[in-house]
Each structure stands twice: as C-alpha cells, then as structure tokens.
Structure 1
Amino acid sequence: MLPNVYVMAAAVLAGAAGSAYVVTVVDRPEPVAVSRVVRVVDAETVEVREGDRVTAMRLVNVDAPAADECLHNESRKRLTELLPEGTAVTVVREGQLAALSTMDGKLVNAALIADGLAVPVANGTRFLDQVKAADNEATEGHKGLHSPDVPCTLPGQVRAITEAAAAVEAQPLKASKAELTVAADTAKTAIGLVDQLSKPGGLTWDAVAPVDQTVLLAKVTKAVPTLYRKEAELRNVVKGLG
C-alpha cells in the first residue's frame, strides 16, 4: 500500500502471460488542524482551543517586552489585534513553542516583529528566516523598538540626550532665572538618561544591532561633557542671580 496517496484510476490489462496494473496517484493533502484563539495571555503567549482542550502556546522565535519593559502594553495590544478572541489559526509546533498563522496566511510571529514590537530569538529553526526578515523590515522602517521617536527605546534615549546637549549649549547665559533653571534641569535629566545607559541590557538593547549600538553610544559620549559643563555653568549663573 502506498503511503500518503489517493488512487485516482486503475486499469487492468489481461494477457496470456499474466496481468499488469496501471495506477495514477496524487499526493494526499496534509491535514490542517484549525484552532481558535481563546485569549492573548501576554505579548508572546496565546491560549488556543484545540477540540475540547485549551492550551497556552508561546510564540516561537519571538522575544516580546516583559511587563516592565519598553512597549510592553503596545506589544500586547498589537498581538490582541492580530489574534482577536475566536480567530481561526493553524498551529505549527516546534518543541514546546508554536507558530500561529491566520487563515489569510499571515504568520503572526513575524507580523509582531515586523511592527517593531518584539525581536527574533533563535529558539526554533523552521521560521527563523521569516522573523529575521521581519526584523530587518522593522529596523529599516524605524518601527517600535527601533524608533528614535519612542522615548523608552535605545534610539529614543540617545536622541533625548543629544538634543538636550544641543539645547543647553545654545542657551544664552543672559536670560531669565526661570529660563536658565529650565535649561539646567534639562541637562540634569539628560545626565540621568546617560547613567541608565551605563547599564546596558534588556530588550531595548537587543533590538539594536551591535554595530548600531556603537554608533549611538558614540553620540552619547560626545554629548556627555557638554551636559556636565553646561549644567554647572547654568547653576552658577542662577545662583548669582539670587
């Protein structure tokens, strides 16, 4: 018996010497198990119903922000938008992890990463190329964790530091006490961000390629002396104003 085939036609030819069979076959389509989304647990875990059983599935190749990390709420919200309750999905398992695809063929694991709301992790091989391509898309589009417009991202923190340095450097010393105080406080806040960056780690760093980290940190290094110098200078002027 031939495995994984349907017998489509058979003809029997009889002859004096014996018989022969001509068989035409096609591949049997692989069964697709369709599950239904029950709920999104967090930014990388989804509960699905398979028959009468509800199973929590962690997305393979996806590292999403934890509850205390940058863009956690946005990431969870986006996953909920991709997988509303009752959504039909196909499930492909890789060990204890899973890839979820909607009926229109969208790989949810890659979609979340393409929006910059998660980063790839090599805990499975089957979909790794797809999620890496999605990450490149997010990086090139400056989305989510890659965006300098989001204050909590690494690019966002670096932008805040460098823009603060430029602003305080341009602050005239012949200004009102209130204006000088604001400028000094701006420098102090930026110095606080620099201190945070002195302890690298977490998803905000993982989202940025090492070569790009080097470029960003070089900008911070250049800005630091200006921030310290101008804060001290501005405080002294404010103090002299009484």
Structure 2
Amino acid sequence: MMLAASVMTGLLTGCDSARATVSRVVDGDTIDAVVDGQEQRIRLLNIDTPETKDPNADVECLGPEASAFLASLLPPGTEIDVVTDDEKLDSWGRVLAGVVLGDGRLVNAEMARAGLALPMQVGENDRFLPDVEQAHSEAVTARRGLFDPTVACTVPGQVDAVETAAAGLVSGATATTPEDADSAAIGAAAVVATAIALRSKLNSSVPGDALIWRAAHLVSDRSRWAARVVTSEARARSTVDGARDRARVLRTPPAPPAGGSSIPAPRPKPTSGGGGAVTSPTRKPAPAPKPKPAPAPKAGGGSGGSSGSGPVGYTGPRCYAPGGKTWKPC
C-alpha cells in the first residue's frame, strides 16, 4: 500500500502519512484502521505495552488496562493520521507508524505518559522515540501505571506488599502454645520466600520477559527497591527464628526441682466399697492392748496353821510339812 505524502503540523513533520479511520483496538499497541477504503493493521512505533494476546503467555500486569486506555483514546470512527518512518511494515505485514489525533497529540507518547508503555526502538525506526522517552520520564516521576506502588502487580507494588507483610508479622516469641508458635513461623517463612524471589529478579543483570521487569530495569529506583526487600527479608527471618525457638521451648518438659526425684511416688490404688463406689484407702486401727491377767492366789495362803500356810505377810524362814503343801514359821 502506498501512503500519501503530506506535511504534518504540530509534533511530527516531514514523514509519509495518510488519513485513516479507527475500526477497533486490538491491544495496547495495535489497532485496525481503514486507509483509503482498505483496513490495515497498525503497530504503534517506539512503544511496547504489556502482553494480552500471546497464546503462549499469561496476560501481563496492566495489559488489559493498556488496551482499555488506548480504546479510550481511539474509539471506533476516530479520524487519525498514520505517520510512518524508514521501515514501513514489520514481518507480520503490520504498518509501523505513529498515530496522531486531530488535536496533534501523538498517541504513542500518550500511552507512555500514562505509564502503560515503555520506549522501544524497532530497527532503524526512531522517529517517535524522543517523544515517547520524554513521556516515559513523566510517568516514572509521577509513579503512573507500571511505576505505581498502589498497583499490586507492578514491581514497586510488590516491594510495598513484601514490606507491609514483614511489618505485620505476628511474633511467635510470646506464643503460649507450640501450635501458635508454629503458625507464626509458617507465616514468616512465606514472606521470606516471596522476598527471596523478588530480590533475585531485582538484582538480576538481565530483566525478565514480562514488561514490569523491563520497566524496573529502566529506573534508578531498582537498587532502592532491592534494599527495601533485603530489609523485609531479614525481619521475616528473625521472626521465623524466634517462633521456632519458642516452639522448641514449649515442647520441652520442665526440669525436675533441684535434689528431687524425677519419678513421682506411686499413688495408692483406690479400693471399691460394697456398693461399687471407689473409696479412699484407710489405715486399720491399731489393736487395743490386751488386759494383764490378775495374779493367781498363792497356794496355802491364809492365816494360821489351819489353812496350811503361815501368817499373811510373814517373810521369815519357813518349815514345810511332809509333802511340801503346808508350812509354818521356823
């Protein structure tokens, strides 16, 4: 397709261009537009937006938002100027161009200004790169889109989330049960794992494929983000150690008192009464002492010889009669 030559006013001058009408937005950096009665697919030059259409990849952070923002700039029926650079088509047959609105705004730069696109050069095409880079710098300064810490999926959003999670960890050092201490350790360990993964990506010399990581590598804040993650990781590790120590203490039986036996004395077995009820053991009472027997009367006791014994109370010598049954004082 031959694009008519014209002189643009405003941001762009001296490029091949053509008037077109938007038919639909494909994603954050691609549209379909009708040029001279023929629909063409147009890839916006010098920007890259989060992926939404790749069948082999997940939808990226802020991909749907980028598509929605472009659709708000280019609703169907919008009249635009399509401005090309040195290389007119890519390997998929898409027209590589800048898209200019009727008020002179370069749509490519507006996507970067919203923080929803990164600067990118394709081949020798760099006509729109200075405008895109300027808009990108504005987005970084204003923390928009990919640089917004309030958006959970962005890199600064993930850094904030780890920092908040580490600050909110429940200490297990004062837990009253082993289960509570274990729970605190598990929660802190999850924060440690997240921090390690995030720190690894931030410290990598090669950004990941996702646009959020390429965005992180374009700003000086990356080193400060990494330092904050390291601090959060250290705090979470300390919580893990404290909780595990507490769990061990709670599971260790108390030591016996000094000088005492660690084996308790056996308790007496309860006895069962006649009605089946268990009664406490009782000691049997000591037997009462038996009464002493009265002394037997002495044989021959009495007074005088008639009784066969001497006088009562006599202690002198005794003279016994034959047979030894009676006696008298000698």
Which of 217, 221, 227 aligns to 1:212? It is: 221
Does the aligned pair in 1 maintain the 2:15–2:84 contact within 8 Å?
A: no
* Cα distance change of structure 1 residues 179 and 104 upon mapping to structure 2, 3 Å threshold: farther
How many angstroms does 1:217 deviate by?
Answer: 0.8
Question: Distance in 1 between the 2:229 and 2:15 partners?
Answer: 55
Name 2:71's counterpart in structure 1.
80
What is the deviation of 1:88? 0.5
Task: Identify unmatched segments of 5+ residues in structure 1.
Answer: 5-28
Q: Which has the higher strand share?
A: 1
Superposition map of 1:182-221 within 5 A? 184=185, 186-197=187-198, 198-199=200-201, 200-201=207-208, 202-208=210-216, 209-221=218-230
Distance across 2 between alignment mates of 1:58 and 1:31: 15
Contact kept? 1:184, 1:235, Cα under 8 Å: yes
In the aligned structure 1, how far is the partner of 2:77 from the partner of 2:250? 66
Contact 2:42–2:97 (8 Å) recurs in 1? yes
Residue 130 of structure 2 aligns with which residue?
129
Please point out which of 44, 48, 52 is paired with 1:59.
Answer: 44
| SS in structure 1 at match of 2:220 | helix
Q: 1:169-180, aligned counterparts within 5 Å?
A: 171=171, 173-174=173-174
Instruction: Supply the distance in 2 between the matched residues of 1:35 and 1:176 (Cα, whole angstroms).
Output: 72
Indicate conservation of the 8 Å contact 2:22/2:31, yes or no.
yes
Question: What one-letter code is carried by the residue in structure 2 that aligns with 1:149?
Answer: T
Question: Take 2:154 and 2:247, find their aligned partners in 1: how far apart are those partners?
Answer: 33
Q: Aligned partner of 1:93: which letter?
A: T
**Inter-CA distance 227–31: structure 2 relative to 1 (3 Å threshold):** closer
Does the CA-based 8 Å contact 1:160-1:190 persist in structure 2?
no
Instruction: Give SS of 1:207's match.
Output: helix
User: Is 1:93 aligned to residue 84 of structure 2?
Assistant: yes
CA root-mean-square deviation: 3.0
Q: Report the TM-score, using the length of structure 2 for normalisation.
A: 0.57
Hey, what's the Cα distance between the residues in 2 that align with 1:60 and 1:181?
54
Larger radius of gyration: 2
Aligned to 2:223, the other structure's residue is in SS state helix
Which runs of 5 or more residues in structure 2 are unaligned?
6-13, 53-58, 90-95, 202-206, 252-330
For 2:116 and 2:15, how far apart are their aligned partners in 1? 33
| 82-91 or 31-40, larger mean C-alpha shift | 31-40
Residue of structure 1 in register with 2:32 after alignment: 47
- Correspondent of 1:229 among 220, 224, 238: 238
**Residue aligning to 1:117:** 116
Whether the aligned pair in 1 keeps the contact of 2:172 and 2:246 (CA below 8 Å) is no
TM-score normalised by length of structure 1: 0.76
Deviation at 1:136, TM superposition (A): 0.7
User: CA 1:31 to 1:108, structure 2 compared with 1: closer, same or farther past 3 Å?
Assistant: closer
Relative distance call for 1:85 and 1:167 in structure 2 (3 A) is same
Counterparts of 1:173 and 1:45, CA distance in 2: 55
Q: Is the 8 A contact 2:113 2:138 kept in 1?
A: yes
* 1:159 partner SS: helix
Paired with 1:108 and 1:32, the residues of 2 have a C-alpha distance of: 15
Tell me by how many angstroms 1:232 deviates: 4.3
Distance 1:239 1:42, change over 3 A: farther
Distance 2:138 2:127 in 1: 19
Quickly say closer, same or farther: Cα 1:98–1:150, change in 2 above 3 A. Answer: same
Given residue 193 of structure 1, which amino acid in structure 2 is its aligned partner?
T
What percent identity do the matched residue pairs reach?
A: 35
Which residue is equivalent to 2:101?
Answer: 102
User: Any conservation in 2 of the 1:164–1:186 contact (CA below 8 Å)?
Assistant: no
Q: Which structure shows the higher helix fraction?
A: 1
Tell me: CA distance 1:147–1:92, structure 2 relative to 1, closer, same or farther (3 Å): same
Cα distance in structure 2, aligned partners of 1:73 and 1:179:
42
Q: Count residues in correspondence.
A: 214
Runs of 4+ in structure 1 off by over 6 angstroms are 29-32, 175-182, 238-242
Q: Helix, strand or coil for the counterpart of 2:83? A: strand
Shift of 1:51: 1.7
